[in-house]
A and B are shown apart, each in its own frame.
Chain A
Amino acid sequence: MQATTTAESHLETSTGLDNRKLLMWLFLGSECLFFGSLISAYLLYRNRNTVGPYPHEVYDIPFTSISSFVLLMSSVSMVLALAAIQRGDIRAMRIWLAATALLGITFLSGQAFEFTEFYDKGLKLDSNLFGSTFFVLTGFHGAHVAVGVLILSSILARSFQGEVRQEHSLAVELAGLYWHFVDIVWIVIFTLVYLITPQ
């Protein structure tokens, strides 16, 4: 995550946008199609289950609302981490990065708990269409959160080696773009998959 002294970083780019930032935006655009396809598959199969357990039998909306809230709040701490490094306050950046990662881990723990609960209620990957589409969709989202936590932790670790300074704020900014994207995807998933519950 160190801002490497690449040959290209010395040059002005044609658009004025940093190469790495443009790359991140393109990557997120590509990810939209990835999650879009997973969500479409879920929606296509929403009312086609022939055997249970059905969604309303397993969902615990209050619990998932709380873990969704936790994930959304992590976006706030992410923004504060970026603001901190941009004004050169490395100590504050570490605190907010750690907070973001911890909130992410809390969300993942909630997801692990939820998966276990569902499993105990008889919903498995191979139970029915709901099980397959639900676990694969939310599982891929969870994997994205986990990668985000790994990225944040790596920046944190590098900052203790003194390798993350004010001029490297782009690394935090890119991690933030990724993190916010994963949050937004969760808002879509929470709305379409949990709140608009099929029978």
Chain B
Amino acid sequence: MARAMTGQLAMGGEAHAGAAEGLWGWLSTVDHKKIGIMYGLAAFVFFLVGGVEALLVRIQLAAPDQSFLNPDQYNAIFTMHGTTMIFLVVMPLGVAFMNLLIPLMIGARDVAFPRLNAFSFWVFLLGGIFLNISFFTGGNIFKGELGAPNTGWYGYAPLTESRFSPGEGVDYWMLGLQILGIASLAGGFNFIVTILNMRAPGMTLFRMPVFVWMSLVTSFLLIFAMPVLAVGLFQLTFDRLFDANFYNAQLGGTPLLWQHMFWLFGHPEVYILILPAMGMVSEVLPTFSRKPLFGYPFVVFSGVAIGFMSWGVWAHHMFTTGLGAAANSAFGVSTIMIAVPTGVKIFNWLATLWGGSLRMKTPLYFAIGFIAMFTIGGLTGVTHSVVPADYQQNDTYYIVAHFHQVLFGGALFGIFAGIYYWFPKFTGRMLHDGWGKVNFWLMLIGFNLTFQPMMVLGILGMPRRIQTYPDGIGWGFWNAVATAGAFVIALSVLVFIGNFIWSLRKGEIAGDDPWDGRTLEWSIPSPPPEHNFDVIPVVHSVDDFWHRKYVEDPRGLPVRVPAGAAIAHGDGAHGDAHDAAHGIHMPNPSYYPLVAAFGMPLIAFGLIYNYALVFVGALVLAAGLFGWVLEPAGPEE
């Protein structure tokens, strides 16, 4: 179909034909690399949206008694900032890397279910757009009437009930998150099957790169955590749209039900956000230290332990709700315990750096920044596990400082390390290293200027979620510093964008293996061909590609294998490259995932505005799914 379209358009002019082919190609692609790039770019656009929202919040709080945003606007903006950064930025950025890297790292030609993968992306994109459309539903947006949800990213009931939050904002929030949950579930299922089933010969579980391991744990957390959130959101949906009583206190409903549901999802979610970043850092550090990762099994098992333990800590979000001393003690202890596997990882990363011949490139800067900032974030987290201390910290800026320290200082620094590290693999060009370091230092300085003052503000008793504060109680100075820091972060992001655009066109040509990498993705061309591997590699050890390039001398130091033998595909692979190239079947492109995905926001709009639209949406969804099931996925034999 794409070919026919191109043919018709070609008569109109060559330039258009090329563009059309490109656009149609992207809309129907099932290639994990293209989907990963789209995931990343879409999440980055949402990152800019969420970043602007953060700046608006910081401008409002820069000095006492300001009215830059009125309380309604402030509530909407901070809610959308949190919701956006978690569901539309950090999660999908992690998923973007999982898409790009998992098949390459395990020696597969694509994910197990390429169309499900495309479906996941389109549902995510449409869900994110749906959520942001809520801004326009509050009246005249040009007069500052924002319709966006204004109940915080955690959406505590009963504030989210129609009685207390009339208007459509919360409807958009609950239905939007439901849609995004479907995208996450589809991704989670797909990655688990891919990792368990699609590994190259010899790629046993304990030869997999740590990033793949962390992706596996993340995917399991996704498929078990998202349904819990889905149920909470469904209950809210029935309350708001059909007058059910799940959170109606007059009839005996309890807000604690929502909190249990939300945080039973919400705490595994925290690790869904951080584990992919930990995986990326675990790839970057060995490459730039020119040493294997210290204690590979320990890092892997720690990640798995974190995955299990993340299910037993949720009530530390609820210490002040009166669960009782026994529950508080138990969750306090489990919260202390989960710091152990996390601490194990930090020491393993440090030991990886220790004694390595460090190459101080931008990815390593961000990785070390990750370790330092995440350690502060982790330690402030441990302080919450002490229940009496948490009584004081609860709902103060200390909490805000803590979770930004782990989500920005942790997850985002890790993701930036990943972007600088893998950019050459997928574009064929290097990001500029000098500007990368400018990017890093601005971000590190801006980050610390923004969030360390929040620790102080929390200790000084400044509560979260307040739109303004009076003069003369000592909060003005630190707030001003934090606002200045936020603009330094914004500057660092601008530097990154500039570097990104410049490097795409003029960056140094990377070659296959610019960093002297250790994992399989560096053994193939940059950018990789559609089928990834001409010959599926056979794996003999952890860091297999490194061992193809280096042997050890008697003192245990690496010695390069002579050029020519370096990228030896032979090595026991099935048949030779020439034969294999004929037999590669790649999945067909398909529009049906996009069609099916379009059904979701239609159903959601229908639930808010007109039930007739629900049926239209359901038909579109069903049409997409049936078309999908009935079309052949690969070339006919």
Chain A partners chain B = yes
A residues neighboring B (CB under 8 Å):
1-2, 4-8, 10, 13-15, 17, 19, 22-23, 26-27, 29-31, 33-34, 37-38, 41, 44-45, 48-51, 125-126, 128-129, 131-133, 135-136, 140
A46 CB to nearest B CB, Å: 11
B246 within 8 A of partner (CB): yes
Would B223 and A45 count as touching, CB distance under 8 A? no
- Residues on B lying within 8 angstroms of A by beta carbon are 109-110, 112-113, 185, 188-190, 192-193, 196-199, 203, 223-228, 230-232, 234-235, 238-239, 242-246, 250-254, 257, 261, 264, 585-587, 629-637
Interface centre among A10, A19, A126, A132 (most CB of B within 10 A): A132
Tell me the complex Cα distance, A17–B196, Å.
9
Most B CB contacts (10 A, CB to CB) among A4, A6, A14, A19 go to A14
The residues of A that contact B112 with a CB separation of less than 8 Å are 8, 19, 23
Contacts of A27 in B (CB 8 A): 189
| A23-B252 in contact given A30-B224, A136-B234 (Cβ < 8 Å) | no
Question: Measured between alpha carbons, how far is A8 from B199 in the docked complex, in Å?
Answer: 12
Q: List 27 A-B contacts (CB under 8 A).
A: A2-B629, A5-B636, A6-B634, A8-B112, A13-B197, A14-B196, A19-B112, A22-B193, A22-B196, A23-B193, A26-B192, A30-B188, A30-B189, A30-B227, A33-B227, A34-B230, A37-B231, A41-B231, A49-B252, A50-B250, A50-B251, A128-B252, A129-B246, A131-B244, A132-B244, A135-B244, A136-B238
| A14 to B254 alpha-carbon distance, docked (Å) | 47
**Shortest beta-carbon distance from A121 to chain B in Å:** 18
B269 to chain A, nearest CB (A): 13
CB pair B235–A15 under 8 Å, yes or no, is no
- How would you classify the secondary structure of chain B's contact residues: helix, strand, loop or mixed? helix
Docked-complex contact A26 and B223, CB < 8 angstroms: yes
Q: Which of B113, B225, B636 has the most CB of A within 10 A?
A: B113
Interchain CB contact under 8 A, A15 and B197:
yes
Name the B residues within 8 Å of A31 (CB-CB).
227
Nearest chain A CB to B504 CB, angstrom units: 31
Q: Which 7 A-B pairs have the closest CB atoms?
A: A37-B231, A34-B227, A13-B197, A132-B244, A126-B243, A48-B252, A6-B633
Residues of B within 8 A of A129 (CB): 245-246, 251-253
Cross-chain contact of A126 among B230, B245, B632, B635 (Cβ < 8 A): B245
By beta carbon, the residue of chain A nearest B252 is A48
Partner of A34, one of B231, B257, B585: B231
Q: Which residues of B contact A26 (CB under 8 A)?
A: 188-189, 192-193, 223
Judge whether A7 and B633 touch: CB under 8 Å.
yes
Instruction: Determine the chain B residues whose CB is within 8 A of the CB of A128 once the complex forms.
Output: 245, 251-252
Which residue of B is nearest A50, CB measured? B252
A22 CA / B223 CA spacing, docked (Å): 13
Q: Which single member of A10, A33, A125 contacts B224 (CB below 8 Å)? A: A33
Task: Report the Cα distance A8→B536, complex, angstroms.
Answer: 13
Chain B neighbourhood of A45, CB < 8 A: 252-253, 257
Question: Chain B's nearest CB lies how many Å from the CB of A44?
Answer: 6
Q: Contact: B242 with A10, CB < 8 Å? A: no
Instruction: Specify the chain B residue showing the minimal Cβ separation from A11.
Output: B198
Across the two chains, which residue of chain B brings its CB closest to A34? Answer: B227
Best-surrounded residue of B192, B197, B586 (most CB of chain A within 10 A) = B197
- Interchain CA distance A29-B632 in the complex, whole Å: 28
Q: Is the CB of B245 within 8 A of A29?
A: no
Given A8-B198, A14-B203, 16 more A-B residue pairs with CB atoms under 8 Å apart are A4-B634, A5-B633, A5-B634, A8-B112, A10-B585, A14-B198, A23-B113, A27-B189, A33-B225, A44-B257, A50-B251, A128-B251, A129-B246, A132-B238, A135-B244, A136-B234
B257 and A7 contacting across the interface, CB-CB below 8 Å: no
Complex Cα distance A133/B110, Å? 42
Q: Which A residues are CB-close (under 8 A) to B254?
A: 44, 48
User: Using Cβ atoms and an 8 Å threshold, which residues of chain B touch A22?
Assistant: 192-193, 196-197
CB closest residue in chain A, given B261: A37
A133 and B395 alpha carbons, distance in the complex (Å): 31
**B245 and A6 contact, CB distance less than 8 A:** no
- Residues from chain B with Cβ under 8 Å of A126 in the complex: 242-245
Q: Taking each of A2, A10, A41, which has the highest tally of chain B beta carbons within 10 Å of its own beta carbon? A: A41
Q: Which residues of B contact A48 (CB under 8 A)?
A: 252-254
Given known A2-B630, A7-B587, contact A132–B261 (CB-CB < 8 A)? no
Given contacts A30-B185, A132-B245, whether A51 and B251 have CB atoms under 8 Å apart is: yes
A164 CB, min distance to chain B CBs, angstroms = 13
CA distance A14 to B208 in the complex (A): 13
- A13 to B198 Cα, complex, angstroms: 6
CB distance from A40 to the nearest CB of B (A): 8
Q: Name the CB-closest residue of A to B230.
A: A34
B261 cross-chain contacts in A, Cβ below 8 A: 37, 41
Cβ-defined partner of B193 (8 Å) among A6, A19, A33: A19
B637 & A5 in contact (Cβ 8 Å cutoff): yes
The smallest beta-carbon distance between A105 and chain B, in angstroms, is: 19
Known: A23-B193, A30-B185, A37-B232. A4 touches B244 (CB 8 A): no
B244 smallest CB distance to A (angstroms): 4
Known: A26-B192, A51-B251, A125-B242. A5 touches B632 (CB 8 A): yes
Q: From residue B259, how far is it (CB to closest CB) to chain A in Å? A: 12
Q: How far is the CA of A22 from the CA of B194 in the complex (A)?
A: 10
